[in-house]
Amino acid sequence: MDAGLAELAVSGSPFPWLSLIVLLPAAAALMLPLVPSSEENPSPAPKIITLVVLLVDLLLMMGVFATRFDPSTEGLQLVERVSWLPALGLEWSLGVDGLSAPLVVLSGLVTLLSVAASWSVQRKSRLYFALMLVQASAQGLVFLSQDFLLFFLAWELELVPVYLLIAIWGGQNRQYAATKFILYTALASLLILISGLALALSGETFTFNLTELAARSPGGSFGLLCYVGFLIGFGVKLPMFPLHTWLPDAHGEANAPVSMLLAGVLLKMGGYALLRFNVQMLPEAHATLAPALVILGIVNIVYGALNAFAQDNVKRRIACSSVSHMGFVLVGIGAVDALGISGAMLQMVSHGLIAAAMFFVTGVFYERTKTLSIPNMGGLAKALPITFAFFLASSLASLALPGMSGFISEITVFLGITSQEAFTSVFRSITVLMAAIGLVLTPIYLLSMCRRVFFGPRIPALASVADMRPRELVIGLSLLVPTLVIGIWPRVAMDLYEASTNALALQFIAS
Amino acid sequence: MPSAEELAWLIPVLPLFGAVLTGLGLISFNRTINRLRKPVALLLISCVGAAAALSYSILFNQLNGAPPVEHLFVWASAGSFVLPMGYVVDPLGAVMLALVTTIALLVLVYSHGYMAHDKGYVRFFTYLALFSSSMLGLIISPNLLEIYVFWELVGMCSYLLVGFWYDRDGAAHAAQKAFVVNRVGDFGLLLGILGLFWATGSFDFQGIADGLQNGLTAGTVAPWAALLLCLLVFMGPMAKSAQFPLHVWLPDAMEGPTPISALIHAATMVAAGVFLVARLDPLYAQFPVVQTVIAVVGTITCFLGASIALTQMDLKKGLAYSTVSQLGYMMLAMGCGAPVAGIFHLVTHAFFKAMLFLGSGSVIHAMEEVVGHEPVLAQDMRLMGGLRKKMPVTSITFFIGCIAISGIPPLAGFWSKDEILGQAFNSYPLLWVVGFLTAGMTAFYMFRLYFLTFEGDFRGNDTAMQAQLLTAVGKDPSEHHAHGGSVHESAWPMAAPLAVLAVPSVLIGLLGTPWNSRFAGLLNPEEALEMAEHFSWGEFLPLAGASVAISVAGITLAVLAYALRRIDLGRLVAGRFPAVNAFLANKWYLDVVNEKLFVRGSRKLAREVLEVDAKVVDGVVNLTGLLTLGSGEGLKYLETGRAQFYALIVFAGVIGLVVLFGVIGGPIA
């Protein structure tokens, strides 16, 4: 344990790259109010500054991970530890491993693209883009923080921009949706905090350091209690049945770029935190409760899919499809073998890209049609063929078409659950059967949506509407090309985290 | 210089390269690329052409006894698990590669004529190349999981191409139905693959067969589980190869452009199911029960398709049900444990059915000059007739196709169908009877199609019939504008592929004569030797004679009813047995059952679940949350909308809690 700590201290990089990645957007956010802009004559400066900062940040992430991060080792790398508030035991402690690296890059990419997708936001644009930047910092901190208190502060901090982004720039029912979002997540946060504090207080020394907490790995009913607290807390974000009902409301009201953030980044925090806390810190409790996770996962998959089929609003339907797809993350985590956890990781990355793409394209045609109600649409393809191509491509990706990332991630989860010897064969059979039913339901609700929105005779009212512009094309391709690349050559993503997920799974084989 | 086998990976990659290039072009420079028709067509035709050349040299090498080649690499891994992908070239694969590239190439050339006036010309070619690539990838897949990958991809291409004319509601529904029904099959296939992997730890065809055998002997796998897994895997081929009761998507898929019906829904993709069963022969050969199921399903399909084809008035639908029926024959062969016979029929059928479909496309193309771009009119045989004089190439090739499929020697269909019937006669005499009767029905309905389309007088200008047909599908006849042109033979890009396909339709059967089957010699030399040794005219002639006799009977009936008009079948049969007629006209009522049971059922279930979600789940969770808050404050905020600062309040509160805990925690630290 102490040896491990010493090693961590030694391996700390001389330059705080991770802090730079995390703090750069926040620093830029502080600058934005100084940019002159008015409601009547909004200046393009805020969005350009935001875009450039986030692009630099993304390049920085990729550069740092490519050159200074060794994916073949499992432990934390680029560790930075600075005591911040010793009275509280709060440390500025960052580090990256295979679990965080892919998600950091994913969130960097999705945030950048969602800013690019916000090009037409005029109202209070300085505040809007400043919130986007704060959000970027907060989510980076969530994925990189190695101190529980710091993690928790970041977790809470990220709620504020999302809440305001929904509440100010949302649709008709934005107040309701935003409040529901904040109520759900804030109440859930209390459970996270209580569990985390309990863990911190449980040992001989008081510490918030995640590595030290993980080394304690308390078992028994105490461990189980903490586990359940975390599970509910993170389950809201994932979202996990029955805590998912905030999601369709939030997506239904948020504008498309914020939906991209919600689906592409926020949901992934839930999955990441489950891996980081529930699996890594409380392996004993996880081994006990894994079957429950698997069951919740298949409920998510089937229940989410059925809900999606009945939704009449494009964004609410995609939101329910997110519930369904995130069920695979739960099943994968519950499978507790290398394949399952690997599948869960890949599903997070894959769903982040695909759901962001779907919401983005939805935003593209919403700007042109001003409606999201499926029964009131039809025949869009004649007017917007390229938009149709993108929506169809993302739908196909979402229904786990091979060659796209969704297939390899879901099949890995399937293989993970199939090869988990610890479960009885009946349990495994039923799980695989139910999850496969989800695979049949997905094309039903996605393709019927495509049919009802895009297929059919031309609509005269849309004759003069322009199809996707170059900016929109670039955004769409930036999401779909990675989906394809991972789908064709999954090791691009898998090699990044394989060492870490294998190590996580090894815990359970040993115990 | 690497051998052709070493370069086999190029066969799917070449068309893929072309498709990606034009696809990207379509997305980024839509207008420009859409104008570059000839260059795009040339590029894609040369890509597929190069793949065809490579395929032929592989076939040539395999004929000369070159050993099979397999190359694998690690595609994905986790823990101790590795997932290999790669490619394999063996005689079966070589035959399929040559077949698919040939027909794809001819269909591409044909499409240049057929789609000449379509705005989506370039998109169509791109999809075609993408399909060819996926289909070729499927053929060279060395294991089940890789097959599944390409299996779904050909399904996607089929979806895109059936829904190609996306402004038509019929096409939209048909495309979705095709995908969803295939997903139902793939659901079983995937479960089967996972289960077999669980039982044997392998995805490899031989590995699965051996692993399951060992598992059964060692007692680690229960016999019923092994049977179940085999049947689950068979669900995939059932959907893809349109076997009863999952055949319902194929006739609807005729909404797609006709070249697609020829390539995907007659010659290649629908045969993929039969191909997979052939690949899985080492597995299925161990389970006689599974083989019996396959044979029975095949026979039902075979009879069902032919019976529905008897009453179809839509030229393409008639051919589609004929395809269903012929796929049933192939599956019957697989069930009889005679994969070579099944694959042989697959090959002969691919040539003559592609020719028949392309011929029907030529007819439809010509009809559109008269009745306008309305599939309800252009494909209905009640408006055709007398086309032989105006379309000589089309009518002659169509006629050849009819003889070939009816099983008249020495044309292709005779040899392959007779082989299957012979196998069935030895394995399942009862199923042979059904197959035998179906052969007669086949001859009858094919010649019915021929006579209604090409003989008699032209009925295309019958406006009363046009109005009646339009009203029947709920369209307003007054809104329709006929072109009023005249019928003429199609230009060379369409006529030439027909002529080329006529050659194998006549001759290719001679490669599979039972006394000296070159075909069996390639796929399974031992079986070929055995066949040749056991061949006796005494056994062959009675069976073959019976098949020919029943075919001739079917043709005679068709001649009497539709060419000479001596008997009126409508009055004789349909009038006397209205129930039978209605049963056939409603396609055995399977679509009605599907609609009522599955489509409406799933919709209703989903709506109920959403209701529960909105009222119960959401309500309970909200209520719990509010109770936890301990007061109605939260509700008040919800209603008054004064929630702007709520986030900050919660945030501050949480910080306060942290400080509190930190102070308590401090001393302990």
User: pLDDT tens-digit profile of A263-273?
Assistant: 999 999 999 99
Q: What is the pLDDT of residue A13?
A: 47
Tokens of A388: 């149709």
Contacts of B79 in chain A (CB under 8 A): 337-339, 342, 502, 505
A169 close to B (CB below 8 A): no
Q: What is the pLDDT of residue A60?
A: 94
Q: Tell me the whole-structure pTM to 2 decimals.
A: 0.90
Beta carbons of B593 and B601 less than 8 angstroms apart: no
Q: Is B487 helix (H, G, I), strand (E, B) or coil?
A: coil
**Which of the pair, B490 or B157, is modelled with greater confidence?**
B157
User: pLDDT tens-digit profile of B330-370?
Assistant: 999 999 988 899 999 999 999 999 999 999 999 998 888 88
| CA distances to A162, B205, B264, B290, B319 from B250, in Å | 48, 28, 10, 24, 11
Task: Please give the average per-residue pLDDT across A392-413, as a whole number.
Answer: 92
- Is the pLDDT at B275 greater than 90? The verdict is yes
Are the Cβ atoms of B180 and A157 closer than 8 angstroms?
Answer: no
Tokens of B417: 């169908």
User: Angle at Cα B410 formed by Cα B405 and Cα B415, nearest 5°?
Assistant: 65
Strands (E), A417-504: none
Contacts of B662 in chain A (CB under 8 A): 85, 87-90, 149
Residues 6+ apart with CB under 8 A from B243: B237, B273, B297, B298, B301, B327, B328, B331
CB pairs under 8 A between A and B: 232
Q: Is B483 helix (H, G, I), strand (E, B) or coil?
A: coil
- Is the pLDDT at B667 greater than 50? The verdict is no
Q: What is the pLDDT of residue A315?
A: 92
Task: Name the amino acid, one letter, at A182.
Answer: I
User: pLDDT tens-digit profile of B69-93?
Assistant: 888 988 888 878 888 899 999 999 9
Which residue in A has a C-alpha nearest to residue B203's C-alpha? A415
Task: Please give the average per-residue pLDDT across A74-91, as a whole number.
Answer: 83
Q: What are phi and psi of A313, to 5 degrees?
A: -115, 130
Percent of chain B with pLDDT over 70: 93
Query: Residue B125: pLDDT band by 50, 70, 90 thresholds?
Result: very high
Q: What is the pLDDT of residue B647?
A: 45
A205 close to B (CB below 8 A): yes
Minimal Cα–Cα distance from A35 to chain B, Å? Answer: 24
- Scan residues 475-494 of A and list those with Cβ closer than 8 Å to B: 477, 489-491, 494
B159 close to A (CB below 8 A): yes
Minimal Cα–Cα distance from B129 to chain A, Å? Answer: 16
- Is the pLDDT at A337 greater than 50? The verdict is yes
Q: What is the pLDDT of residue B162?
A: 93
The chain-wide mean pLDDT, for chain B, equals 86
User: Angle at Cα A143 formed by Cα A142 and Cα A146, nearest 5°?
Assistant: 80
Q: Is B25 helix (H, G, I), strand (E, B) or coil?
A: helix
| Partners of B69 in the β-ladder | B89
**Which of the pair, A398 or B376, is modelled with greater confidence?**
A398
Q: Is B555 helix (H, G, I), strand (E, B) or coil?
A: helix
Query: Residue B591: pLDDT band by 50, 70, 90 thresholds?
Result: confident
- Scan residues 352-381 of A and list those with Cβ closer than 8 Å to B: 379, 381
Displacement of CA B362 from its chain's centroid (Å): 21
Contacts of B156 in chain A (CB under 8 A): 396, 401
- Is the pLDDT at A331 greater than 80? The verdict is yes
Of B79, B149, B603, the CB nearest to A502: B79
Count CB-CB contacts under 10 A for residue A354. Answer: 33
- Is the pLDDT at B552 greater than 90? The verdict is yes
- Scan residues 25-54 of B and list those with Cβ closer than 8 Å to A: 26-28, 30
Residues 6+ apart with CB under 8 A from A281: A199, A210, A213, A214, A216, A217
Tokens of B347: 């090959």
In the block, residue with structure tokens 């600075």: A82
Q: What is the pLDDT of residue B644?
A: 41
Task: Please give the average per-residue pLDDT across B502-519, as a whole number.
Answer: 84
Contacts of B625 in chain A (CB under 8 A): 183-184, 187
User: Angle at Cα A390 formed by Cα B181 and Cα A368, nearest 5°?
Assistant: 115
Of A164, A379, A491, the CB nearest to B647: A164
CA atoms within 13 A on the CB side of A204: 1
Beta carbons of B299 and B573 less than 8 angstroms apart: no
Task: Please give the average per-residue pLDDT across B534-554, as a whole number.
Answer: 87
Are the Cβ atoms of A381 and B166 closer than 8 angstroms?
Answer: yes
User: pLDDT tens-digit profile of A128-146?
Assistant: 999 999 999 999 999 999 9
Q: What is the pLDDT of residue A57?
A: 94
